[in-house]
Amino acid sequence: MKFIISSGALLKQLQNISGVLSTNSSLPILEDFLFDISEGELMILASDLDNTIITHIKAEAQEPGRVAIPAKMLIDSLKSFPEQPLTFIINPETFGVEIASGYGKYKLHGHDPEEFPKIAEIEDGTRFKMDASILYSGINKTIFATGNDDLRPVMSGVFMQVGSENLTMVATDSHRLVRYRRNDVKSESEASFIIPKKPLNLLKNLLGYVDGDVTIDFNTRNASFSFDQIRVVCRLIDGRYPNYEAVIPKENPFRLSMQRQDLMSSIRRVAIFSSKSTNQVKLNIQGSELQLTAEDLDYANSASERLACQYEGEDMEIAFNSKFINEMLSNLETDRITLNMSAPNRAGILLPESETPDADEDLLMLVMPVMLNN
């Protein structure tokens, strides 16, 4: 069994899919790539049992065959080659792999492809399509707000809900919540599922340079994302997502508007002097002035800054976890933001403020306040 392939093209595809590999698994086969060779094409698979990435690449091959090849050794070898055609010769009985380049020959021991886990089939599933840039943006703007609590696994992923009117992606860790909605993505049937964090990070790394659509197929157990010669198959999180709409306050009469970068920079400076246990930064808003303060009573550290703002409402003092609010601000893209509030003990709603708003995008970020240190 023999095939010829470009070293650079092969390395690029292997690096694209290597993020799924499991390095400390009890199954050694999960440290391998599965090569499935057919006439004119090489299909490569990488898996950790829960997630599988499949990619396709052109190759000169005259006969079909399959072999599992150790991933680290193969990638390290390919990194050392300049761009050139490589010839792979595989012994189907011993699974020995010989690589011939312009410099010489290299041999490594492959493994039985039958040991490689099977790809989950999406039976009786639902299908819809969306632009790759929209999915990339949705993952980027939600994944940071997912939780890490093993006792609440549903909150460790992103909830995706699609229907006849829009697509909604939601992430929360109970201290903050992000709801990303697109009115230009629709499906004939109503459906929802929860995607774990690992496949979302894999998709985030792959989608940044993709033009065109992503085809999403899913059922109650698995989901598949297909685009640009790549397919990501993942196991979904089983469970019921919390009623996120119930925690979003509807009445928020107090409205703070200001430059996003100014607020973010000020919080970063002041937060250095805050308590390391609470990361609390206090916002004192009076008229058109915002005062930011932080203190660490244990070490007698404190900081205070004043900023100009636009504010509608009664004077207010409210405190937030600086890490949470700064992470939310850094995941917004507009020059100005709006913070809507109702009381010092109720959630604040962070919204992008754009001169040319996108009618198809609706982004809302919620952050819970922390108790004031008076």
Element (H, E) at 103: none
pLDDT at 258 (0 to 100): 96
pLDDT at 374 (0 to 100): 55
Q: Compute how many other C-beta atoms are within 10 angstroms of the C-beta atom of residue 232.
A: 23
191: its two tokens: 């459906």
Nearest to 315 by CA among 250, 251, 254, 252: 254
Handedness of CA 325, 133, 200, 179 (dihedral sign): positive
* Rg of the chain on CA atoms, in Å: 25
pLDDT at 39 (0 to 100): 83
CA distance 284 to 295: 14
102: its two tokens: 């312009």
Structural domains of the chain, ranges and CATH numbers in brackets: 2-115 (3.10.150.10), 126-246 (3.10.150.10), 248-367 (3.10.150.10)
Q: Output the pTM of the full model.
A: 0.93
pLDDT at 36 (0 to 100): 97
Handedness of CA 125, 129, 135, 138 (dihedral sign): negative
pLDDT at 373 (0 to 100): 61
* Successive 10-residue mean pLDDT values, the chain, 374 residues: 95 96 86 94 96 96 92 96 96 96 96 95 91 96 94 95 95 97 91 96 94 94 96 96 94 96 98 95 96 94 96 96 96 96 96 88 96 70
> Which residues, at least 6 apart from 288, have a Cβ–Cβ distance to it below 8 Å?
308, 309, 310, 311
pLDDT at 52 (0 to 100): 97
* Whether 31 contacts 18, CB under 8 Å: no
CA distance 258 to 290: 10
* Whether 313 contacts 257, CB under 8 Å: no
